[in-house]
Amino acid sequence: MTAEFGHFALILALCLALGQAFVPLLGTLRANRLWMASARPMAYGQFVFAVSSFICLVMLFLGDDFSVRYVAENSNLNLPDRYKVSAVWAAHEGSLLLWALILSMWTFAVALFSRNLPLELVARVLSVMAMIAVGFYLFLLFTSNPFERLLPFSPVDGKDLNPLLQDIGLIIHPPMLYMGYVGFSVAFAFALAALMAGRFDAAWARWTRPWTIAAWAFLTLGICLGSWWAYYELGWGGWWFWDPVENASFMPWLTGTALIHSLAVAEKRGLFRSWTLLLAILTFSLSLLGTFLVRSGVLTSVHAFAADPARGIYILVFLAVVIGGSLLLFAFRGQTLQRTASFNWSSRETFLLGNNLLLVVAMGVILLGTLYPLVADVAGWGKISVGPPYFNWFFVPLALILAVIMAVGSVSRWKHHPPAMLASLALWPALVSIVVSAGVLFIHGYSFALLPLVSLAVAAWVVIWSLRDWWRKSSSSRGRLAGSRRLRGSYYGMLLAHIGIAVAIVGVTLTSHYSEQRDLRLSPGEAVSVAGYDFEFRAEERIRGPNYVARRGRFEVLRRGALIAELNPEKRYYSGGGQVMTEADIDGNLRRDIYVALGEALEEGGAWSVRIYVKPYVRWIWLGGLMIAMGGGIAMVDKRYRRLAQTRPRSEAQAGVEVSGTEQQITEGSGAQQQRNG
Amino acid sequence: MKPARRRRLQLVIFIVSVASIGVGLAVYALRENINLFYTPSQLMTSDVPLGTRIRVGGMVVADSLSRNQQSLDVTFEVTDGAAQVPIHYSGILPDLFAENEAAVAIGHWTSDNIFMAEEVMAKHDEEYTPPEVADAMEQAYQQKLRSGEALQDKPGRE
């Protein structure tokens, strides 16, 4: 019965979403407040049914109901309970249900926290979100129903979850990623609402900002978790492969990053309006594209599409409707929102424009590299793959330029910041960062090369600018503590995220250039020295896990004769599906990771092929990512966004540049700007 | 109105030129970094540029795997059902690499007709066959069918 309940709840959620998509929208056309007000209760109802449906699927997994095809294919009796729950989103159907659930959660949140917004706007936003939900519910019900039964011949036991996915990282990675993907639907819905209304004002940008930042922070976290999981679970020791699946999540992150910055300009200065809307549409479109690229199987093969034509065609049509429809609306209404205001080329606006351009260019380059093999295959140009050198060749310089601009931009002033003043600010950070960079390489005894030298210098540059800016802004006649308290949460969020970028750059640079990796043949009793560490292969033993048996190697790691770690990498053989899995063992701290993985047994009871890595500062990559996400979290809860949403008059569109200019000093200018003015 | 229009035109020209330079660079870099896929039959019959990074894939031939006893050097052969290609690799083979299973190797073709692999990939899970390999097998199979039919056709016509 549970499966039928879940199915039924899904249908009810669809019905409510249909109502929510059209009734409030019609209400805005007919100025019927009752119809508009119906958006909220329907959003609540949709949420309740989506949650019920999802819970039903979780219950089916926990209850080992293998008469349900999806459960039989992704779970089995021996699977530990926590993995039974995560198996819910391990494959196509369940992950789409998770998507729909998270969309209903965001819709619920918007309905709940939009008390201060004009009813018309809420009605439009919620109906756009419901339209997307309708698309997903229909897709689930007609092509990818997770509640489909295998009757009358249902298996006694299921097939088991792919062992790669039996991991804590993969329990939380997809929900985080989807929180990000789907969260951008809020910005998207706000953008479409602005286009429908033909009105775009500073208040609009202010309301949209915390939602966008929240989604972006979740996406950051999701990408970090994915990278971390690939690092320790795939057994190759890499943290980013420029794999299409990774690119699919990275592209919306790049445009999302551009969006949160252009929203700042739109709010503070009333500029970049139609560009901001376009970015909101683009970001969500890339999120949709990412979801479908990864989940439809089109990446592994164009033929996976042909194998299930109903799904493939539905996806294409859905993407065309959402992306095409929103772009069409943008083409008709985007121009009417245009505002011109002048700003000097040397100003914060210019730096943020540069940020936006670079981010979008980076996204375009990655999009090209990701989709080109698909296009070539369909067009019959042969089967090709695009290697990491292509992506690195473009992305590394773009990212470094971006970081340089970022540091200066975050300190510069709106409208006009005399270039001579900026140049005088830049002089000593430039010198110091080069010295620091060279010093770091020298202390570690690393070889000097241009790229690591420049990259580390850029990281130091970012930190210096950020901290100096904080130092100046936090100075106060009542002491440093009072001064630093006076600064806004959104400022601290920005500071943390920018320094996080620098930390990640350090990690990426040092790991990429100075890792030592060795694949070799080792028998028990033998030892090898890698990067100043001695690795002794002590013994091999056999162990038994809940749903696998494993052969485990015991390695002792010594540094100058002293034992510093014992590592136990495993080779697991899963009984359910017969899969083999490499479980690497890592001894890590902030300075370096020591990584040992077993390859294969070369002879019975004897030699193994063993993979040994020493990776300096690799954890800084994810530490930086965490700082970026936390920065987003801190900025998001800044009270300013909410308080002003209440009190601002809605007709700010007329006010133009002057109002935005003064407002900036009132709201954020607690720092240096006000002091300089005063 | 006019200066505004001229400014807009300048902006458009600027954006278009920057964008086209960017796209040009991107396509150039793409061409340099794509790895074409060859089936074993194509490797054996057509001219393959030596030293260029390419991919080759097929089923690993049973009993073709041989290891060096001192190092991690291995050689094995892959087939699409019509031709066999010897592949040399030094390193750790992936977990799901096995004889009679699909594998794809990235590397370059050498003048002594051995494929020197830098990277070997096997399938992700039990059911998945790399699409390139499935296609290559299918092509070779069709080729065989066609040549078989051609033989049968001839007597029919007479």
pLDDT value for B141: 77
Q: For position A402, what pLDDT does the model report?
A: 95
The whole-number pLDDT of residue A666 equals 35
- Does any CB of chain A come closer than 8 Å to the CB of residue B22? yes
Chain A positions touching B124 (Cβ under 8 A) are 162, 164
pLDDT at residue B123 above 80? no
Which amino acid, A150? Answer: L
For chain B, give the mean pLDDT.
Answer: 80
Report the candidate in A343, A353, A208 with the shortest Cα–Cα distance to residue A272. Answer: A353
Return the CATH class of domain B34-150.
Answer: mainly beta
**A401: which 2 tokens?**
């330029």
**∠ Cα A174 A613 A171 (to 5°):** 15
Distance, in Å, from the CA atom of A631 to the CA atom of A495, rounded to the nearest integer, reads 7
Residue A436: left (phi > 0), alpha (psi -120 to 50), or beta?
alpha
How do B115-122 and B84-90 pair as beta strands? Answer: parallel
For residue A252, give the amino acid letter: P
Which of B17, B18, B30 is the best mutation test for A, with the most CBs of A within 10 A?
Answer: B30
pLDDT value of position A432: 96
d(Cα A284, Cα A256) in Å, to the nearest integer?
A: 9
B49 touches chain A (CB under 8 A): no
CB count within 10 Å of CB B125 equals: 12
Residue A368, both tokens: 């090209």
Burial class (CB in 10 A: 0-12, 13-18, 19+), B4: exposed
Helix axes A388-409, B2-33, angle to 10 degrees: 140
- Which 3 state secondary structure label does DSSP give A387? coil
Give the domain ranges of chain A: 1-160, 167-417, 516-617
- Chain B from 116 to 135: CB within 8 A of any A CB: 124-126, 128, 131-132, 134-135
**Residue A241 CA neighbour count, 13 Å, CB half:** 16
Tell me the C-alpha to C-alpha distance, in Å, between residue A324 and each of A99, A282, A302, A318, B3: 21, 11, 22, 10, 34
Q: What are phi and psi of A530, to 5 degrees?
A: -130, 125
Query: What residues of chain A lie within 8 A of the CB of B29, using their CB?
Result: 390, 393-394
Dihedral angle sign, alpha carbons of residues B5, B7, B9, B15: negative
Q: Please check whether residue B152 touches A, CB under 8 A.
A: no
Specify whether the CB–CB gap between B91 and B71 falls below 8 A. Answer: no
Nearest-CA residue of chain B relative to A368? B26
What value, to the nearest 5°, has the Cα angle with vertex A309 and ends A304 and A313?
A: 110
Length of chain B: 158
Largest CA distance in chain B: 83
Res B152 pLDDT > 50: no
Instruction: Give me the residues paired with residue A567 across strands.
Output: A555
Distance from CA of B95 to the nearest CA of A (A): 6
Q: Which of A435-449, A635-649, B9-23, B128-142 has the lowest mean pLDDT?
A: A635-649
Please compute, for residue B100, the number of CA atoms within 13 A of its CA located in the half-sphere on the CB side. 2
Of A677, A644, A646, A678, whose CA–CA distance to A268 is shortest? Answer: A644
pLDDT at A530: 92
CA of B138 vs chain A CAs: smallest distance (Å): 13
Identify all chain B residues contacting A387, using CB atoms and an 8 Å cutoff: 33-35, 53
CA distance to partner chain A, nearest, from residue B148 (Å): 26
- How far off is chain A from B36, nearest CA to CA, in Å? 4
Cβ-Cβ contacts under 8 Å between A and B: the total is: 89
Per DSSP bridges, beta strands A608-616 and B84-90 are unpaired
Distance of alpha carbon A504 from alpha carbon A623, whole angstroms:
7
Is A165 in a helix, a strand, or coil?
Answer: helix
Question: CA A366, CA A396: separation in Å to the nearest integer?
Answer: 12
For the record, the structure tokens of A637 come out as 């809860």
- For chain A, the straight-line distance linking the first and the last C-alpha, in angstroms and rounded, comes to 71
Give domain A516-617's CATH number out of 3.40.50, 2.40.160, 3.30.300, 2.60.98.
Answer: 2.60.98
Smallest CA-to-CA distance from A63 within A140, A1, A145 is with A1
Phi, psi at residue A31, to the nearest 5°? 55, 40
Cβ distance A386 to B30 less than 8 Å, yes or no, reads yes
CA pair distance A420, A424, nearest whole angstrom: 6
| Number of Cβ within a 10 Å radius of residue A654 | 8
- Two tokens at A174? 């997809």
Tokens of A409: 């931009």
Is A519's CB within 8 Å of B91's CB?
A: yes
Count helices and strands in chain B by DSSP H and E runs? 3, 7
Distance CA A431, CA A447 (A): 21
Which amino acid would we find at residue A546?
A: P
Q: Is A252 exposed, middle or buried (0-12, 13-18, 19+ CB in 10 A)?
A: buried
Q: Helix crossing, A119-143 with A168-197: angle to 10°?
A: 130
pLDDT, average across residues B7-17 = 81
| Residues A526/A537, Cβ–Cβ less than 8 Å | yes
For residue A627, count other CB atoms closer than 10 A to its CB.
22
* Cβ–Cβ < 8 Å for A177, A222: yes
DSSP, res A584: -
* SS3 state at A309: helix
**Successive 10-residue mean pLDDT values, chain A, 678 residues:** 94 97 95 94 97 96 93 89 91 92 97 91 96 96 92 80 80 92 96 90 89 96 92 80 89 97 91 91 94 74 61 87 94 75 83 93 92 84 84 93 94 90 91 96 93 97 96 88 88 96 97 92 91 92 89 93 93 80 91 91 83 94 97 90 54 39 37 36
Nearest CA in chain B to A360: B19
**B144 within 8 A of B82, measured Cβ to Cβ:** yes
**CA dist., res. A54 & res. A429, Å (int):** 53
- Verify whether the Cβ–Cβ distance B135 to A369 is below 8 Å: no
Length reported for chain A? 678
Most confident of A487-491, A622-626, B71-75, B106-110: A622-626
Beta bridge partner(s), residue A571: A551, A582
The CA R_g of chain A, rounded to the nearest whole Å, is 27
Cβ burial, residue A259 (10 Å; 0-12/13-18/19+): buried
Give me the pLDDT at residue A303, please: 55
Question: Does the ipTM surpass 0.85?
Answer: no
Best residue in B10, B42, B66, B72 for a mutation probing chain A (most A CBs within 10 Å): B72
The one-letter amino acid code at A617 reads Y
Looking at residue A68, the DSSP 8-state letter turns out to be B
Q: How far is CA A281 from CA A256, A358, A560, in A?
A: 10, 18, 57
Instruction: State the pLDDT at residue A650.
Output: 42
